[in-house]
Amino acid sequence: MSEAAGRGRKSIGARRNPESADAILDAAEAVLREAGYAGFSIEAVARRARAGKPTIYRWWPSKAALLVEVYQRQKRVETPDTGNLEEDLVGFLRNLFAHWRDTPSGNVFRSLIAEAQSDAAAAMALGDYAKGRRAHTGRMIERAKARGEVAADVDAEIVADLVASYAWRHLLTNHLDDDEATIRTVVRYVVRGIAQAS
């Protein structure tokens, strides 16, 4: 019998029960809203969701892993597909900065990055997330390759890392108000390079 069996929720072992998983994620979002990152704990989430801590840890091996999923669940950042790489990247960065600035997600992600500096579980959860995001952003580069905008030998994931480094620096220093002209300049440097034309 599961930890929550007497309280109306069923656990089905390592395989997630969607209803229970949603309840835990809802609870995690509520705890985060009310207590902030510093007051967030698995214990508080378990109480709010009426779930056992072992169930939460079976599905999310660490607090950071749960927070990464909460962050992903809240993230609504459109990735444009305009047919032009510079426009795609400018639109993506503009949308990302607005999301971080205008929702609680920016503070959550900033705190996760900070915790990853001293916590191995947070570093692993953040690394897994970043790998997926690198591939996601890299798809914009791959589309541009297919259109002939980008050389075939360009490593899309390295370009994605360059874009992410600009975004993450602004997140970590809480400077998410760059205007579009500044973002366009950054994207132009990434896409066209900085070497003197010959």
Rounded to a whole number of angstroms, the CA Rg of the chain reads 20
Give pLDDT tens digits for 93-143. 999 999 999 988 888 899 899 889 988 988 999 999 999 999 999 999 999
Tell me how far apart the terminal alpha carbons of the chain are, to the nearest angstrom. Answer: 73
Q: Cα separation of 100 and 105, whole Å?
A: 6
In the chain, the domains with their CATH numbers are 5-59 (1.10.10.60), 72-192 (1.10.357.10)
Which is more confidently placed, 171 or 14?
171
CA within 13 Å, CB half, 158: 5
Residue 6 predicted with pLDDT over 60: no
Among residues 165, 192, 188, 183, which one has the least CA distance to residue 94?
183
pLDDT, position 8:
40
All residues at 6 or more sequence positions from 188 whose CB lies less than 8 Å from its CB, including other chains? 86
Can you read off the two tokens belonging to residue 1?
Answer: 């019998």
Going through 23-163 in order, the beta strands assigned E by DSSP cover none
What is the pTM assigned to this prediction?
A: 0.81
Average pLDDT over every residue of 177-194 = 95
Give pLDDT tens digits for 36-91. 888 899 999 999 999 999 999 999 998 999 999 998 888 888 899 999 999 999 99
> What DSSP state is assigned to residue 173?
T
All residues at 6 or more sequence positions from 127 whose CB lies less than 8 Å from its CB, including other chains? 116
> What DSSP state is assigned to residue 149?
S
Tell me how far the alpha carbon of residue 124 is from its chain's centroid: 13
Give pLDDT tens digits for 51-63. 999 999 999 998 9
